[in-house]
Amino acid sequence: MSSAFEALSELASLSRTSAKGLPARQATAPRWSGIGFSSLGFRFVTPLNHVSELMEVPSATMLPGVQPWVLGLSNVRGRLLPLFDLAHFFGGAITQAKKYQRVLVLETDTLYSGIVVDRAFGMQHFTSDSYGESMESLPEPLAPFIEGAYSDAEGKAWPVFSMAKLAGDSRFTNAALV
């Protein structure tokens, strides 16, 4: 019995002497994450807390007497989700085939809406020190909704699109034809 104990003790000792330590903690820049998407031929990123869900475009029932950028009303898990064409709202058009289009769902205390975009790129991560002013020349109607931009590892700018500002815009929340 003592030989088994001695063997285990020796093995434990060898294990401790040959073990490598944990890697040294490296100083890293704080990170910011958001949901990447494209619309109007531009890439954007929106803060994670502005989007409650990302989904494929569901079928929708058209509504009478609404703005042309209102795509309709969809039943998503028993909830009625109005769908809005973001590009059309800003005077453009969706350019991607329906299989690539995605819905960014906005959900606040007073608003539950689906924003249809050309394409979604999922979560995008940036270092906080890559934040600055938006360098891209974006169409004028977009300017009030852009809150700076992040640069990715390749140096490409991702303007930060504020879905919260969109949800607070009276033109967006009043989709009825006048």
- The domain covering 31-173 belongs, at the CATH homologous superfamily level, to CheA-289, Domain 4 (2.40.50.180)
Along the chain (178 residues), what's the average pLDDT of each consecutive run of 10 residues?
A: 80 83 74 95 94 95 95 95 96 89 91 95 93 82 93 92 93 87
Distance CA 123, CA 121 (A): 7
What's the Cα-to-Cα distance from 63 to each of 35, 66, 79, 110, rounded to whole Å? 29, 7, 16, 20
**Any idea where the domains of the chain sit in the sequence?**
31-173
pLDDT value of residue 88: 95
Question: Where would I find the H helices in 32-96?
Answer: 86-89
- End-to-end Cα spacing for the chain: 92
pLDDT for 14 equals 83
